[in-house]
Homo-oligomer: A and B are copies of this chain.
């Protein structure tokens, strides 16, 4: 039940771009340094985000990346789906193209996974990049230590 680093790093990068939204394009090198990520690896992640229409690249010197739309119009679910594919605790309840049960599949467990899927999606779709920026601004989060249990 784990996210890969793609989603993890990718959201950090998108948050970084959201914080700098409105200014000139942000080069990946700056994002990588601020977020402490490998620049080359980030290139691959941002390519996926670009293909998903979430960011635009600006080539050449003084180029970089810019969010394709306002931070309030991009939510965590968008970012994660672009990087990790459709949300699906198991293949047969994937958000897109859910595989059919095989004969003996007992669908009771499917209803569980569908509810888990919807729970995850509900959380992710309710948080926009703008929300994250605002929370960071307000300092309304616990940081530099353990999260509360």
Contacts and interface: CB of A to CB of B under 8 A. Distances in A.
Interface of A is mostly: helix
The complex is assembled from copies of this chain, and their number is: 2
B36 A104 contact: yes
Contacts of A91: 2
A146 B98 contact: yes
B147 A84 contact: no
Contacts of A15: 106, 108-109
Interface residues of A, number: 55
Interface in A97-117: 98, 100-116
Contacts of A135: 108, 111
A16 B104 CA distance: 12
A88 interface: yes
Interface of A: 1-3, 7-8, 11-12, 15-16, 34-36, 76, 80, 84, 87-91, 93, 98, 100-116, 119-120, 122-124, 127, 132, 135-136, 141-147
